[in-house]
Structure 1
């Protein structure tokens, strides 16, 4: 962690363009991007709107996984700040990928937007602000 970042929050978030399996399995399939990069791309609550706008602009709905950084660390994962925007990359202790699933996913919430509604507006609503927490 660099001095420009606060301590790791208790929760980080994984954005999915489609619904995860239900009930939550022990291990979800990793995205193509995560497999290619060798780590899990996640965001803090404060950057979810920006990440959604930049990478999921065409999606009418998103599913957000709330991940426990404590549970990830217990499983041997390393959560590291990357870049200036509040991106957290999750690395496995070995050369593989961390498995996201029932052991470290605290909750899942679906967010839907009206046509042309910006993600910033969706995530600015009271229920979203109450669920997406950085501290």
Structure 2
């Protein structure tokens, strides 16, 4: 499945606990990301469904908002372009998701941290038009 067209302006990493503030140079990987060998990311339209599917028991989530171009350029957590760091669009279930290989997230590539509280379902609580 190909990348969406047009490409998104932002990608999001969903966290079930608050990240350190201020963001460190390198955030720890989730068990899922470590086991799969890449960072799982979502577009703004995918976040509500991903949250409902994988985080339904949580009442608050934190979203790391990352400029697409920053990761597409291979910018690592420290803000430096890392050789081999790249986004791959891969089919998962019924959608095509962005996966970031060869790099990490941290203060050098995350633009914003947003706390979101659940009201009803995540689909109803998340309206990301940023």
Q: Who is 1:106 aligned against?
A: 111
CA contact (8 A) 1:46 1:86 kept: no
Counterparts of 1:86 and 1:62, CA distance in 2 = 22
Q: Which runs of 5+ in 2 are unaligned?
A: 76-80
Provide the aligned length of Structure 1 versus Structure 2: 119
Q: Who is 1:42 aligned against?
A: 41
Q: 1:7 to 1:130 in 2, by over 3 A?
A: closer
Q: Who is 1:8 aligned against?
A: 7
Q: Who is 1:17 aligned against?
A: 16
Q: How does 1:1-135 map to 2 (within 5 A)?
A: 2=2, 5-72=4-71, 73=73, 74=75, 75-76=81-82, 77-83=85-91, 84-92=94-102, 98-114=103-119, 117-124=120-127, 129-131=128-130
Question: Where does structure 1 differ by over 6 angstroms across 4 or more consecutive aligned residues?
Answer: none
CA contact (8 A) 1:42 1:88 kept: yes
- After superposition, the CA RMSD in angstroms is 1.7
Counterparts of 1:104 and 1:26, CA distance in 2 = 9
Q: Which structure shows the higher helix fraction?
A: 1
**TM-score of the superposition, structure 1-length normalised?**
0.80
